[in-house]
Structures are given as structure tokens and as C-alpha cells.
Structure 1
Amino acid sequence: MATATATSPKLDLKALLRSGIGVPVGVLATLAMVILPLPPMALDVLFTFNIALSLIVVMVVFYVQRPLEFAIFPTVLLLATLLRLALNVASTRVVLLHGHTGGHAAGKVIASFGEFVIGGNYAVGVIVFAILTIINFIVVTKGSGRISEVTARFTLDAMPGKQMAIDADLNAGLITQEEARTRRGEVRQEADFYGSMDGASKFVRGDATAGILILVINMVGGLAIGMMAHDMSFSDAARVYTLLAIGDGLVAQIPALLLSTAVAIIVTRVSSAQDMGGELSKQLFGQPRALAIAASLLGVMGLIPGMPNLPFLMMAAICGGGAWMLHKRSLQQPSEEEMAAAAAAAAPPPAASESKELTWDDVQPVDIIGLEVGYRLVPLVDKAQGGDLLARIRGVRRKLTQDLGFLVQTVHIRDNLDLAPNSYRINLAGVPVGDGVIYPERELAINPGKVFGRLTGIETRDPAFGMEAVWIEPSMRDHAQTLGYTVVDASTVIATHLSNVIQTHAHELLGHEEVQHLLNTLAKTAPKLVEDLTPRLLPLGTVVRTLQGLLAERVPIRNMRTIVETLAEHAARTQDPVQLQSHVRVALGRQIVQDIAGMSTELPVITLEPDLEQLLTNSLSGNNAATPGLEPGLAERMQRRLAEAAQRQELTGEPAVLLVPPQLRQTLARFMRSIVPNMHVLAWNEIPDNRKVRLVTAVGR
């Protein structure tokens, strides 16, 4: 006979919580306490749980590294407040129904707070309760509510600046798409958290108000019920019900004060990761001068006759001992100059020069891209000291290689003792093309154009784009972001500047060797096309100059197949690199407009008035077409008006595009390159058929 065994179902608390049912069931049970009467034993357990929950929340707030690690705190605060109010209603019912039987009618917890904590004296209990309520309501709750409100508003105002900083790091190749997505999620989560904290602080404030009203209701109601329903004397009713009401109020007010303190702590913390205990001891008790001054003042007060000499002198000795220990520890740490001298002394002496003939091996090639740093910036490059500049530069090279279409050369980094300690310099082919001053211990707050206040620090300009900026202390990062500044660290400043320099001088980095590599790569998939182009139709030098011209006008050369096909098609009619470049731009028109306008079907453009177009066309009709003979005043007015039109486009968030006839495009692009470098000059025949053109303005004489 076959037997079947059945396992009896068991209540699994962990499974219940994981299923998501536990919290809703707990909320419903809390609401049920408002309606259903509870025995004194259940009240004792729930009041104890309420106090334990408040202590746990305070400890969690102390030990989380960042406020966002406790993002569920507003919800916990609401549930704890709801639990406390439900317990107030349940205990009020028990006090008013059974209070005449004695002080233990509402449970031992309330009785203990009413008898032991306040000594059984209801006058003392009223005063203690009033003091706790004042501290909670006026000091802690009001302050944390104001901080929550201001932080929520500033966090929302800072969201655009933080998003711009993330986009800038992504475009510079400093972070990946996944990292950018994670950081954007953190920005949204931070805004949601502080917005929720702004609302949650109102719960705490309302809870403090409710505690006062519940105490008064319990005292007045208990006095009336005791005298009228149970024939108690006024003194007996006042003593019993007042002690029970005070005990009930204290049991609820102490957890409320703990949660209010937790709210105040979490909203006053900075958003960056930190160990609160370690930072508190480091920043508050880490200054030996402050401790020494405090010890001196305490010692003087301890020597005054009539003062409590022993406590003051003991505290003066403790502060003085702490100051001496901190000072001794600082003397044991070597200064930067001593470390530099020790490093120089430890370096091996140069080898004695040998008498030998010079060879071609002694001729050192010039670095294509070089970065020189002062000695204070060396830690940014040294991985052993936590420097991440090498990784950032590697990310910049990877991003630019993908965007430009050719392999960007290695960046050679050297220290240069001739530079100022905080300076750096970017070289191309041994020639400086950019420099800047960096403060590694600070962060750069960049003004993107619209900020809501000023910052204290070292005023400067962003070395990459020339925008107004301030070097600030790292502790001011969150405040700067709330004002609308884009805040980056020192390594990011150098990496962004390097990225901008490489993009601006990309045509100088492309040579015969790089073009030959591009052709060899294309020959793997289209060998006949490459074989027909060079050297049969075009010499390699002409191809190089054509590609350099494209890069000089910020046109990537990723689509080498289309470029080579276009060159092969027009090589029989012309070998002029300028004309070949114009043909290639027409073939790459879809890519060029896509890089400018993105996925938008409409392209806003600036044009020239017909009479100005005709004048420029006539001036180019001669043999010297590369340099139009314009009257100086007209050239200056045209430059100024085009620059103003480009600036207006930037303020609206749209690209500045100048649309001109094909015969004027090359000359005007060269004419505008040094004046308005952010303006794109396009010919009519470069606009693809699927793009609509919207006229923004026309520039005249």
C-alpha cells in the first residue's frame, strides 16, 4: 500500500516579509489599535517596541555612510509616527476606562514612567514633559523642518547643473554610459529623498503638537471621569489620572524626540560618503590650537576663587593633553618640502658620462602629445597615491578615437621642475598649446551661465572653455551644486582641457602614418576601392590634406568608405584638396547635420541677406578667391553680427549654423573659425532631403 505524507503548513515570518505582505499587514494592525481595545500587557510590549525602533533608527542614521543609503527613512518616519499615535489612542482608552483602579491600569511601562522617572510627583512630570516638548517642538523639529525645506528646494534647483556635469564627463570620456546612468539615477533619488524629507518633517512637527493636546485631553478627561463616573475626590482623581497622563505622554514623547533628532541629523549631513563618527572627531577635535585655547580659558576660570575649581581644572588638563598629543603627532609627519628633499636625496646619482661618440640614437623624437605637470600635481598621476589622472586620460583617448575616427596618439606625461608647483602645460609636437593652474586639494565650481549666488574661494576661469569658475573646498561641493554650479575635481579639469585641445587640433595629429593605417584597415573589407584610389588616382599626400581639412572643420572621418568612394569618384576631375573636401562634405551631409542637430527634424539656420551674398560672391569671382577683398568696416560689422547671432542661439540651447551658397562656404568657414569657433558653416547642398530648415535670422550689411 502506498502511503502519502503531507507537510503541514507553517507560518514563515521571513517568507511573509519577502513577499511584501508584512508591511501592509503591520499598517492595518496599527490602524486596528485605534478601534480595538488592547490589554495592558500588549501596551507594554508595543511601547517597548516603539522605544527600541526609535533607538535603532537613530543608530542607523549615525552609521550610514550617505543619507541615500537610508532612502526609506521618510517612510519609516511616517510608519513610526502612525504607530506612536495609535498607541496614544489605545493607551488613552485604557487610562480613561480603567484609570480609577490604580496606576498600573495602563500597563507597567506607563506606570514606571509616571512613578520612577518623575518620582511620582505630577507637578514635576508636567514640567519635565513641557521641557521635552519645547525641546522637540521649538528646537529640533522646527530647525530640521527648515533645513529639510531649504535642502529640498536647493536640491531641485541643482539638478540641471548636476545633469550637465554628468553629460560633460560622459562627452569627455571620463565615465561610461552605465556609470552615467547610475549617476543620473542617484541625482533623481537624491531629489526624491530630500523632497520626501521635507514632507516627512511635517509629520514630526504635527506629532509634537498632537502629544501636547493628548496630554491635556487625558488630564482633563480623566479628572472629569474620575470625579463624576467613579466618585473619586478631586485630589485622588488629579493624582491618579495626571500621573497616568504624564507617563503616557513621556512614553510617547521620548521616542518622538529620538526620531526628531534622527531627522535633524540626516538632513544636516553632507551627501558625500563619510564615517560620521570619524569625521566628527577629526573636524571637531582635530585642531590642536583650538584645544589649547580652550584649555587656557578653562584653566583661568578654574583658578578664580569661588568657582568649581576641580571640574574646570580637570577639563583644562584634558583639553591641554589632547592639544599636546595632536601637536606632537603633527610634528612626526614630514612636510611636503621634506618629502621632496628626501625623494631627491634617495634618487640614484647620475651615471658618469662616458667618452663615446654620439649616434642617431641620442636624437630623441618629439612627443606628439605631451603633458607636463608641476611637482605638486605628481600625486594626480601616481596610482600609489590614489591618482586617477592616467585612467581619465585613457578614457579621453578612447572617446576621442571613437568620435574622430582615427587612433589618437599616446599622451606622454612628465614632471617639469621649471613649472610652478600647481601648474600644468599641454604640448603638441613640443609646442605649448594650453596651460593652467590646479589646486589638487580643492574642486573647481564652474559657472555654466546661470547661478543663484556667489562662492568663497580662489576665483579663476575654466582652462578648457574660459568660463568663470571658483576653486572651492570639497566640503562646499553640495552647496555649490545647489547654487547651480558644475563642480569637478582637479583630474577632471586637466582631462577636459586635454580633450578640448585634442579636438581643436585634431587635424594636426593626423599624418601620413595614421592615414595609411586607415586605408589598410579599409582594404581588409574593400581592397579594390583602396587600390584604385592611391596611388593610382590620388597621391597619399592629397588624401592626407583632404582628411586634415575635414578635421579642421570638426567633421569626423569615421566613415572612411564613403570618403574614399567620393575621392575616387572626383579624383579624375580635380586633385585640389579644397575642392575634394567640398565634395566629401556633400557626401557626408547626413552625418554632419546629425552631429550638429541630433535627431531633430528641423535645423535652425542663420543666413546672409541677398545683397551681402551678392557682394561676397563678386569679391570671390577673381583669381584670389581664398581671400575676399572686403572693406574693413564691413568685415568688422559682419563678424560682430554673426557673433551676436551665434550667442543668441547658444542662449536658446540651439546650435549656431550659418547656411551659405556652396561657393562661399569654404571662405566663410575659414573667416569665422577664429572669431566664432562654435559656429557651423554649411552649404545648401550639404543639407539632406529629410531635414527641414528653419530660418532664425538673416545678417546684412
Structure 2
Amino acid sequence: MGAREFSVLFGVILIVIMLIIPLPTVMLDILIIINISLALVIILVSMNTKEPLEFSIFPTLLLLVTLFRLGLNVSTTRSILGNAEAGNVIDTFGNFVIGGSVLVGFVVFLILIIIQFVVIVKGAERVSEVGARFTLDAMPGKQMSIDADLNAGMISEQEAKERREKIEQEADFYGSMDGASKFVKGDAIAGIVIVIINMIFGLVIGMVEHGMGVGEAAGTYTLLTVGDGLVSQIPALLVSTATGIVVTRAASEGNLGYDLTKQLFAFPTMLFVAAGAIFLLGVFTPIQMVLTTVIAAVLASLGYFLKRTEEKAGREEEEPEEAEEEGEMKSPENVVNLLTIDPIEFEFGYGLIPLADANQGGDLLDRVVMIRRQLALEMGMIVPVIRIRDNIQLQPNEYVIKMRGNEVAGGELLLDHYMAMSPGVEDESITGVETIEPAFGLPALWIGEEMKEQAELAGYTVVDPPSVVSTHLTEVIKAHAHELVGREETKQLVDHLKESYPTLVEEVTPNPLGLGEIQKVLSNLLKENVSIRNLPAIFETLAEYGPLTKDMTLVTEYVRQSLSRQITKQYASSNEPLYVITLSGAAEKKVADSVQHTEHGNYLAMNPEDSQKLVERIGKEAERLSEMGSVPVLLCSPAVRMYVYQLIERVFPQVSVLSYNELEPTVEVQSVGVVNVE
């Protein structure tokens, strides 16, 4: 434990000692001076913070300082009532500061109490309460603003995380200050009560135990009590003022002194007006002309100086701006900035602006946040920030989705309509504008509000335009997920995994596999719609097979087999059999014989005529399986799975190719078709 931590613990123990054990007057003098010094430090620190969170420990510090002061009050009370003395500091305050007059000292003490309790403490308590309430009420709006900036690409994931943490800290701080301000209020009340107790019981003790007369007892104990009250209330007043400063401070670019002088003297002309008013005050009233003239001259001089400084700063600022603009036009960086390409862009015509405008009820930004979270859970990938912008070159109701600057999908929306998709049996009474559902290519209708309920009763699936866009965007990102996982994204995933599995990551990368090779495996998995969320299992396989081969396509096959439970759950239900089509032994042999082995890897080199026939037969069987209402799955041996997938991926991307080793033994498999070759 360091010296700092030990000093704080010692301070808390000292407070407890003060409450129980009598202290010598010399020790009391030292502690009283420490109390005043601590109060000065606190108010100076509060004045030099730029925002409240820079002094986040203040609520707890307020409790400790209040407890320290009350413990000091207990010790001084014990010394005053027991020995009729309280040390040099209190005696000095009782005689020198208040001139030995009990009545004057008591009045000064009462004024300090009134200032602290009625003005400062009451105001700080109210500001703390309102600040806590408004901070908590504003949290959801601030969180949505951060999400919107993140989705718009204005801030990074790390900046968004830092902003969210700051919002939570602000809520905690103002909530704590709301409670801590009650300590200050209680301290002020305790100060009044302690003084009254000391006066009453001091009079009684002086007369009964020490045989003093009424006047002598009143003079002795009241003088010490008032001195003690002043000694304790001056630090209390400083801490109360610090409390008010902290809770009333807003985030700014400077401390209190900087902001105060900058904003108070922001309008130099007003100083001339104030100078004129003070000068006229001396002319038309009995106030001495010398006094008002000097103050008016100081104000006028300050206004003149500030005005000259402001004009000079304005001229200097205009010149660099002009030079900077010219430099930017000539600078090569001006062109370089135009080369940046966003990973994902969503552009729309001006007619779809209400879709993204929160002021018009649009919730597209919130939906994008949910899409990124959904894909993180489903696919285990970090979806890059989606840039959302309007494009006047598009049709009013048109939108496009771009990947790496290239358009990959698009569609049209009718914002005041609903998209209705038939359950399979058409209802002629449901009429609307014919269209195609963009995500899955199904025939659909745009229907009005008046026909929505009728369509739902007829069994149609009815969705609103924002849901259509969200579904389309989700499916497009899934289909192109392998393009979005580059080396930078792979590094983020590896770094995240390293926090929990450092040994596993160190065994895989940078030796024997580099980031590029790991990225290749993850991209291969995503390309076939296999989630990479189970990174530990993937890295276990990479650690086992990575040193044996540099063919990442082959390593991907081993990874798929290690994810057999996940793949089985993705395609097969626990209660129903998995319907598949299979390759015949002759077809598998045909594929295996066509594989060419090279030092850079293996590839399929089948005769074009044979490959065309094989693809056509796979397509015919897959279509028959689709007509049965099942997802088309082609099952083959592990040795040829990746080559069969490479053969049909461009022609039939909807067909999933699985190997026998990728299915759990417990799943029931039923073959509904066999692909043969002549």
C-alpha cells in the first residue's frame, strides 16, 4: 500500500480517535489549522476544474471532511467544557478576531451560519437535486445521440464507449452530490446546536464545578464557544461554497477564473456604459467625486484595452483563415481525403428522408444499431459503421446499398403504404401496387392503411417500410459478410479473444499463422453463412492444423468439422429429420479425380461439359427439395465438399453444401434425391 492510501486510512482512524479519546490542546491547534488548510485546497481545486467529473471524488470527500469537522467539534467541546480551554487557535479567534467582545463574536457567528445555511447550502442542495434529476432524464437521449453519431460514422467505437462511460459517470456524480449536499446542510444545523449546548452547559459547569459567578462563567465559556464556532464555520463556509461551485459548473474549455474573466468581459462596450454610470453617480450624489472618478477611469481603461485586443485578434484570425483556405486548395492532402471509401453505405432519395429523420418519426438509426447488435450475436462479426446519407441523383422513393463503394442492392419504398406478401393463396380482394420484396425476391403488394387489417385477416404478411429496409439491409450484410472481415477487423476479433484466451491466441498467431491467414479462414466460414462467434473453438482447430498446412481452404474444412454441433443446429431441428440431396459414389469419384494438386494448393479442374451436367442435376434436385418447403442442402463426403461448393457457389448460392463429418450422429438425415453422373 502506497503512502497516499495509508495517509487516507490514517485520517479516517484519526477522526474516530477524536470522537472517543481527549486530545491535548496542541494537537487540537494542529488539527484546526489542517481543517482550514484542507477547506482552502478544496475550494481552490473546485475553482480550477473544467467540468464536474474532474473532481468526481468530491461527494465522498465532502462526507469525510464533514465528519472530520464534527469530530473536531466534539474534541474542542470536550476541552472547553472539561478544562475551560481549547488551545491557542480558538483563543486567538475569541480575543483577536472578534476583539474580545462576546456579543460581536456571537453576531458574526450567526451571520456566517445564516449565509451558509440559508444562501449557499440551500442553493447547492437545490441545484444538486435538479442536476441529478435532469441528468437521469437526459440519459436515454444522450445514448441515442451517441448511437446516431456512431452509425453516421462521426465517431469510432472507442469514442462511443468513452462517451457512454462519461454519461454514466455524470449520472452517478450528480446522484451522489444530491445526497452529499445533505451532509453540508446537516453540518450547518449541527454547528448551531453545538454552540447552544456549549453556552448553556458551559454556564452550568462554570458555576457548579468551578465556582464561577454568572458573569465570569458566561464570559469565559461564551468567548471560547464563539471562537470555536468561528474556527469551525469558516472552513465549513469554504467547503459549502466549493459544493455550490462544483454543482453549478458546466463543462467548458477553462477553469472558473478563465471562464469568469472571458465571459464577464466578453463585451468591452458595456464597461464604458458602467464607467459612465459610476461617474454620474459621483456627480449627482454626495459620494466623493475622487472615488467614483478613479473607479470609472479604471473601468473605461479596461474596456479600451479589451476592445483593442479583440480587434487585433480578429484581424490576425482572418489572415490565417484565408491562407489556410488557399493552402487547402493547393494541398495534395485535399485530394487524398477524397479517396476514403466507406465499408457500407445506405443512400436514399429525398422522398425517403423521413425514414432517417428522428424529428419526423424516423427510426432508421435505431434500427441500424439493432442490426449491428443482431449480426454480432448471430454471425460473431463486427459490422463496420453504416454510412447513411441522402442522394439527390436517386429517384425520390429509391434507395441503394453499397459495399466498398460499389452498389450491391437497391429497391423502392412507398412510405405511406405497407408491403403485403401472400401466404401462397391469393385473395383477389387484396389490391395494391405490385412489387418484389427486396430481401428474398418474393412477389408482394404495396397496400394502403385502409386495407392493412383486411390483408392480415387474409393471412398476408404485412410489414411497414422501415422493416422492409431493415430486413433487406440485414440480408445484404449477411450475404457479403465475408467481404467486410478484413485484416483490421480480424485484428479486433483476435485482440478481443486474447483478453480471455491469451495462451490460445499466442499459440496461433503470429506464428504459425498470420492475420491474413486467419482472416482467410474466417472469410471462408462467413461466405457459407457459418457464424464465427465461437472463436475459441475456431482457434483450437487453427492451433492444431495451422502448423501442418498453409492451405487455408483445407484448414477451413477442419474448422467446419470442429463446429459440427453449431452447423447441425443451424440446419436441423431436434424434432424433425433433415431432408437432403446427396451425391452418388460415381459423382464423388468424378469430382475427386478432377482435383489438381499443386504446391500452392488444390483446385477443381473438371471437364466443362461434365461440370455443366453435374451443376444442372444438382440444380434440378435442389429445386425439387425447395418445392417441398425445405432449405436445399447437398450432402457429400468431406474429401470433395469444398470442391463441390466451389463448383456451384456462383450458380446456386442458396444451396448449402455439407459433409457427413459436419453433422452430429444424433440427427436424422433423409435423402430425397441423388445426383448421378453417366
Shorter-chain TM-score bucket reads: 0.5 to 0.7
Aligned to 1:299: 279
Q: Given the alignment, which residue of 185, 209, 212 partners 2:192?
A: 212
Q: CA separation in 2, counterparts of 1:26 and 1:504?
A: 70
Matched, 1:27 2:5: no
Matched, 1:274 2:163: no
Q: CA separation in 2, counterparts of 1:251 and 1:221?
A: 20
Q: Given the alignment, which residue of 155, 159, 169 partners 1:179?
A: 159
Matched, 1:196 2:196: no
* Structure 1 residue 246, shift from structure 2 partner: 0.3
**Kindly tell me: are residues 500 and 33 of structure 1, through their superposed partners in 2, closer, same or farther at Cα, counting changes over 3 Å?**
same
Matched, 1:69 2:54: yes
For residues 314-334 of structure 1, the C-alpha deviation after alignment (integer angstroms, 9 at most, x for no partner) is 111111111122222333345
**Kindly tell me: are residues 48 and 674 of structure 1, through their superposed partners in 2, closer, same or farther at Cα, counting changes over 3 Å?**
closer
- Is the 8 Å Cα contact of residues 202 and 221 (structure 2) preserved in structure 1? yes
Aligned to 1:44: 29
Aligned to 1:227: 207
Deviates more, 1:335-344 or 1:141-150: 335-344
| One-letter code aligned to 2:427 | Q
* Structure 1 residue 514, shift from structure 2 partner: 7.1
| One-letter code aligned to 2:389 | N
- Is the 8 Å Cα contact of residues 74 and 196 (structure 1) preserved in structure 2? yes
**Kindly tell me: are residues 620 and 280 of structure 1, through their superposed partners in 2, closer, same or farther at Cα, counting changes over 3 Å?**
closer
How does 1:143-542 map onto structure 2 within 5 Å?
143-334=123-314, 400-401=342-343, 403=344, 465=357, 467=359, 499-501=388-390
For residues 219-251 of structure 1, the C-alpha deviation after alignment (integer angstroms, 9 at most, x for no partner) is 111111101111111111111101100010011
Aligned to 1:571: none
Q: CA separation in 1, counterparts of 2:421 and 2:450?
A: 10
- Is the 8 Å Cα contact of residues 619 and 629 (structure 1) preserved in structure 2? no
Taking structure 1 as the reference length, the TM-score comes to 0.54
**Kindly tell me: are residues 194 and 673 of structure 1, through their superposed partners in 2, closer, same or farther at Cα, counting changes over 3 Å?**
closer
**Kindly tell me: are residues 680 and 246 of structure 1, through their superposed partners in 2, closer, same or farther at Cα, counting changes over 3 Å?**
same
Q: Secondary structure at the match of 1:271?
A: coil
| One-letter code aligned to 1:501 | D
**Kindly tell me: are residues 615 and 238 of structure 1, through their superposed partners in 2, closer, same or farther at Cα, counting changes over 3 Å?**
same
Q: CA separation in 1, counterparts of 2:168 and 2:99?
A: 51
Q: CA separation in 1, counterparts of 2:392 and 2:68?
A: 61
Q: Given the alignment, which residue of 14, 17, 25 partners 2:3?
A: 17
For residues 360-416 of structure 1, the C-alpha deviation after alignment (integer angstroms, 9 at most, x for no partner) is xxxxxxxxxxxxxxxxxx99x9999xx9xx98x99xx66x40x46xxx9xxxxxxxx
**Kindly tell me: are residues 498 and 41 of structure 1, through their superposed partners in 2, closer, same or farther at Cα, counting changes over 3 Å?**
same
Q: CA separation in 1, counterparts of 2:160 and 2:405?
A: 32
Q: CA separation in 2, counterparts of 1:322 and 1:383?
A: 46
Aligned to 1:589: none
Q: Secondary structure at the match of 1:213?
A: helix
For residues 51-101 of structure 1, the C-alpha deviation after alignment (integer angstroms, 9 at most, x for no partner) is 0000011111111222111110111110000000001001001000111xx
Taking structure 2 as the reference length, the TM-score comes to 0.56
Q: CA separation in 2, counterparts of 1:551 and 1:606?
A: 16
Q: Secondary structure at the match of 1:38?
A: coil
* Structure 1 residue 613, shift from structure 2 partner: 4.9
**Kindly tell me: are residues 175 and 117 of structure 1, through their superposed partners in 2, closer, same or farther at Cα, counting changes over 3 Å?**
same
How does 1:554-565 map onto structure 2 within 5 Å?
none
Aligned to 2:79: 94
Q: Any unmatched runs of 5+ in structure 2? A: 362-384, 436-440, 480-528, 530-569, 574-678
Aligned to 1:85: 70
| One-letter code aligned to 1:71 | S
* Structure 1 residue 184, shift from structure 2 partner: 1.2
Q: Given the alignment, which residue of 100, 106, 117 partners 1:126?
A: 106
* Structure 1 residue 157, shift from structure 2 partner: 0.7
- Is the 8 Å Cα contact of residues 620 and 628 (structure 1) preserved in structure 2? no
**Kindly tell me: are residues 433 and 303 of structure 1, through their superposed partners in 2, closer, same or farther at Cα, counting changes over 3 Å?**
farther
Q: Secondary structure at the match of 2:211?
A: coil
* Structure 1 residue 305, shift from structure 2 partner: 4.3
Aligned to 1:491: none
Q: Given the alignment, which residue of 427, 444, 447 partners 1:614?
A: 427
Q: Secondary structure at the match of 1:467?
A: helix
* Structure 1 residue 503, shift from structure 2 partner: 13
Matched, 1:136 2:121: no
Q: Secondary structure at the match of 1:292?
A: helix
* Structure 1 residue 689, shift from structure 2 partner: 7.4
* Structure 1 residue 148, shift from structure 2 partner: 0.4
Q: Any unmatched runs of 5+ in structure 1? A: 1-14, 100-104, 349-377, 409-427, 436-460, 470-495, 516-546, 555-604, 646-657, 662-667, 692-701
Q: CA separation in 2, counterparts of 1:196 and 1:629?
A: 56
| One-letter code aligned to 1:30 | I
**Kindly tell me: are residues 65 and 112 of structure 1, through their superposed partners in 2, closer, same or farther at Cα, counting changes over 3 Å?**
same
| One-letter code aligned to 1:130 | L
Q: CA separation in 2, counterparts of 1:135 and 1:612?
A: 82
Q: CA separation in 2, counterparts of 1:283 and 1:462?
A: 40
Report the number of matched residues: 444
- Is the 8 Å Cα contact of residues 639 and 675 (structure 1) preserved in structure 2? no
- Is the 8 Å Cα contact of residues 421 and 444 (structure 2) preserved in structure 1? no
- Is the 8 Å Cα contact of residues 227 and 237 (structure 1) preserved in structure 2? yes
* Structure 1 residue 304, shift from structure 2 partner: 2.2
For residues 578-631 of structure 1, the C-alpha deviation after alignment (integer angstroms, 9 at most, x for no partner) is xxxxxxxxxxxxxxxxxxxxxxxxxxx997797995227899999xxx99999x
- Is the 8 Å Cα contact of residues 152 and 191 (structure 1) preserved in structure 2? yes
- Is the 8 Å Cα contact of residues 462 and 468 (structure 1) preserved in structure 2? yes
Q: CA separation in 1, counterparts of 2:434 and 2:189?
A: 86
| One-letter code aligned to 1:116 | F
* Structure 1 residue 110, shift from structure 2 partner: 0.4
- Is the 8 Å Cα contact of residues 151 and 388 (structure 2) preserved in structure 1? no
**Kindly tell me: are residues 70 and 305 of structure 1, through their superposed partners in 2, closer, same or farther at Cα, counting changes over 3 Å?**
closer
For residues 155-194 of structure 1, the C-alpha deviation after alignment (integer angstroms, 9 at most, x for no partner) is 0111111111121222222222222222211111111111
* Structure 1 residue 43, shift from structure 2 partner: 0.2
**Kindly tell me: are residues 639 and 89 of structure 1, through their superposed partners in 2, closer, same or farther at Cα, counting changes over 3 Å?**
same
| One-letter code aligned to 1:126 | F
| One-letter code aligned to 1:171 | N
- Is the 8 Å Cα contact of residues 122 and 242 (structure 1) preserved in structure 2? yes
Aligned-pair identity in percent equals: 40
Q: CA separation in 2, counterparts of 1:619 and 1:57?
A: 71
Q: CA separation in 1, counterparts of 2:91 and 2:332?
A: 63
For residues 81-130 of structure 1, the C-alpha deviation after alignment (integer angstroms, 9 at most, x for no partner) is 0000001001001000111xxxxx21001001101110010000000000
- Is the 8 Å Cα contact of residues 464 and 497 (structure 1) preserved in structure 2? no
Q: Secondary structure at the match of 1:207?
A: helix
| One-letter code aligned to 2:261 | S
Q: CA separation in 1, counterparts of 2:444 and 2:52?
A: 65
* Structure 1 residue 271, shift from structure 2 partner: 2.9
Deviates more, 1:135-144 or 1:165-174: 165-174
| One-letter code aligned to 2:3 | L
**Kindly tell me: are residues 226 and 609 of structure 1, through their superposed partners in 2, closer, same or farther at Cα, counting changes over 3 Å?**
farther
**Kindly tell me: are residues 17 and 347 of structure 1, through their superposed partners in 2, closer, same or farther at Cα, counting changes over 3 Å?**
closer
